[in-house]
């Protein structure tokens, strides 16, 4: 018995040592990688010619790929060590699904393929489960589908499954998976194409990790179908939810409206038609320009809306826009992605009453159709016009960061918004600067951005020291945001326990930084 216990303890110690080693190596990898990605973002905001922009795009793509590989290896290590913990909380299911699709839409649209989602109208809006892990599985599956699809599109569907479970299906129009590889792809370090001449790089861990996460959540993941016309991956998990369907309010103005949708996209037009039909509209989907023109010229059809997919081409778009004008009360709506808009320019938009931006969020599509003449508001919602930059003018921030490159990135980002930044090179200097601000020898700080790993005194210890100072001086707590290369849940919990209010992973995204600062400012 003693030998068995000793062997178990030895194995656990080895597993713990491996996890610590990978976490440390990950941090060391991420530090220079964060500098590369962050400086690429700063460089992207400067004047560049076409050749320089292409080089910069390659740098960013390579950096993103390396970051993804690091994440997969770390996730695999944690799963191997049995350290995957599920965080149960209530979350908005449609928002999570559509958010994951939108996150991957630039990658898909940059390849010229469609990406969209559809949530069954009977599913609950609020469910209880681990939203972070569900998002990770969706992004793994959808990301894989985008990577291997060259023509057509990728789609996600969520619907009721078996035995009170929810089923998520990811469709693609890629080349399919050879029958001989269909079981192997779920094994560690295996890919659909295992040959030395494969076109797509990767560790072969994405599906293996996703399968283990789904199993840990009490569900199952499988390959439903695959062939020359594409593949379908499915997974089912138990998620407790409310009995209220997510589509709680049907747009009453859509009832009995005649809507013609014209487009040859493999998924999006049909999904849009299904959503509008759920609201009571009479929808028709036509794939070709000629069929749509014949329908509009027949004399026995009077549409209320004509929705035209931009992918049909400039000639078809122009003809269908002109045909729709002969119906006095008909509104013409253009459906396009940001990439397509840049290709066609502003002139084409002037032929339409409004537009919808792909991937379309289906919940509010009815209201958008009736609001489509207000182009300015529609664009603002999707971020297709230049927004007024959020301002941090005059606000003072303390940045505790030992790495010069990371410090430069944050200083430049905040500086663009008018903020005043004071830098501390380690935790000891950060505590001293806060103490000086309490003594009145230096201006107070609106918030502190604290790196977790620093020499002499780390960020967690510095945060605890600042909180102790505040208590002893009877001072109102200053907001502290953690900056770290590690995105694990236990890192986040450690930061919160040390008295921090926010948590950002490097390289720090400007939008996320401003949002976090505004949120903690509002809480104060």
CA distance 15 to 524: 42
CA distance 296 to 366: 22
pLDDT at residue number 380: 43
Q: Locate all alpha helices (DSSP H) within 266-345, ordered by sequence.
A: 268-278, 289-297, 314-324, 338-344
CB atoms within 10 A of CB 102: 15
Q: Is the dihedral of CA 114, 119, 121, 126 positive or negative?
A: negative
Cα 388 to its chain centre, rounded Å, is 22
CA distance 330 to 259: 9
Collect the ranges in the chain with pLDDT lower than 50.
189-190, 192-203, 373-389
CB 193 within 8 A of CB 231: no
Nearest-10 Cα torsion for 368, 369, 370, 375: 70
Radius of gyration of the chain, Cα coordinates, nearest whole angstrom: 26
CB 254 within 8 A of CB 366: yes
pLDDT at residue number 2: 58
Pairing of strands 420-424, 447-451: unpaired
Q: Three-state DSSP class for 261?
A: strand
Nearest-10 Cα torsion for 346, 352, 357, 361: 160
pLDDT at residue number 85: 75
CA distance 259 to 253: 12
Closest by Cα among 38, 10, 7 to 411: 38
Secondary structure letter of residue 232 according to DSSP: E
Q: What is the DSSP string of 95-125?
A: HHHHHHHHHHHHHHHHTT-EEEEEE-TTSBS
| Residues 6 or more apart in contact with residue 238 via CB below 8 angstroms | 129, 164, 165, 166, 217, 218, 219
Q: Three-state DSSP class for 129?
A: strand
Q: Helix 289-297 crosses helix 314-324 at what angle (to 10 degrees)?
A: 10
pLDDT at residue number 6: 66
pLDDT at residue number 388: 44
CA distance 340 to 265: 14
Pairing of strands 153-160, 166-172: antiparallel
pLDDT at residue number 200: 43
In Å, what is the CA distance from 340 to each residue of 277, 314, 454? 27, 11, 45
pLDDT at residue number 9: 62
**For the chain, how are helix, strand and coil distributed in percent, rounded to 5?**
50, 20, 35
Mapped to the 3 state alphabet, what secondary structure does 30-61 carry? HHHHHHHHHHHHHHHCCCCCHHHHHHHHHHHH
Nearest-10 Cα torsion for 147, 341, 272, 110: 0
pLDDT at residue number 391: 66
């Amino acid at each position: 018995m003693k030998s068995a216990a000793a062997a178990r303890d030895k194995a656990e110690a080895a597993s713990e040592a491996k996890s610590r080693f990978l976490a440390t190596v990950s941090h060391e990898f991420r530090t220079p990688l964060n500098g590369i990605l962050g400086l690429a973002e700063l460089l992207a905001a400067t004047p560049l010619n076409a050749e320089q922009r292409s080089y910069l795009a390659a740098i960013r793509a390579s950096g993103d790929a390396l970051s993804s590989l690091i994440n997969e290896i770390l996730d695999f290590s944690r799963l191997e060590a049995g350290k995957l913990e599920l965080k149960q909380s209530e979350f908005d299911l449609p928002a999570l699904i559509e958010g994951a699709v939108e996150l991957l839409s630039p990658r898909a649209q940059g390849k010229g393929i469609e990406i969209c989602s559809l949530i069954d109208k009977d599913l609950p809006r609020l469910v209880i489960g681990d939203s972070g892990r569900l998002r990770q599985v969706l992004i793994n599956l959808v990301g894989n589908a985008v990577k291997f699809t060259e023509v057509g599109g990728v789609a996600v569907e969520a619907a009721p499954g078996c035995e009170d479970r929810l089923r998520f299906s990811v469709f693609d129009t890629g080349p399919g998976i050879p029958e001989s590889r269909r079981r192997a792809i779920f094994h560690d370090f295996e890919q659909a194409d295992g040959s030395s001449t494969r076109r797509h790089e990767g560790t072969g861990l994405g599906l293996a990790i996703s399968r283990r996460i789904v199993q840990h959540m009490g569900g199952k993941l499988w390959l439903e179908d695959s062939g020359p016309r594409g593949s379908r991956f499915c997974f089912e998990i138990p998620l407790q939810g409310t009995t209220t369907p997510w589509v709680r309010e049907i747009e009453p103005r859509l009832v009995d409206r005649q809507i013609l949708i014209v487009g040859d996209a493999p998924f999006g037009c049909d999904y849009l038609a299904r959503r509008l039909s759920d609201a009571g509209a009479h929808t028709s989907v036509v794939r070709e320009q000629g069929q749509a023109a014949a329908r509009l010229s027949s004399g026995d059809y009077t549409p209320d809306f004509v929705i035209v997919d931009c992918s049909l081409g400039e000639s078809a778009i122009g003809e269908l826009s002109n045909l729709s004008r002969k119906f006095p009360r008909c509104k013409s709506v253009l459906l396009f992605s940001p990439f397509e808009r840049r290709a066609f320019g502003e002139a084409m938009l002037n032929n339409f009453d409004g537009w919808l931006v792909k991937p379309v969020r289906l919940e509010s599509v009815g209201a958008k159709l009736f609001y489509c003449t207000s182009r300015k508001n529609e664009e603002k919602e999707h971020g297709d016009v230049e927004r007024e930059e959020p301002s941090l003018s005059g606000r003072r921030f303390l940045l505790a960061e030992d790495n010069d490159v990371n410090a430069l990135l944050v200083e430049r980002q905040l500086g663009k918004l008018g903020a005043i930044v004071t830098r501390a090179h380690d935790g000891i200097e950060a505590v001293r600067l806060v103490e000086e601000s309490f003594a009145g020898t230096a201006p107070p700080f609106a918030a502190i951005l604290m790196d977790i790993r620093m020499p002499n005194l780390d960020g967690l210890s510095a945060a605890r020291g600042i909180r102790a100072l505040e208590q002893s001086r009877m001072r109102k707590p200053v907001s502290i945001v953690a900056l770290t290369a590690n995105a694990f849940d236990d890192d986040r919990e450690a930061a919160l326990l040390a008295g921090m209010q926010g948590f950002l992973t490097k390289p720090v995204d400007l939008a996320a930084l401003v949002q976090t600062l505004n949120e903690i400012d509002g809480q104060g």
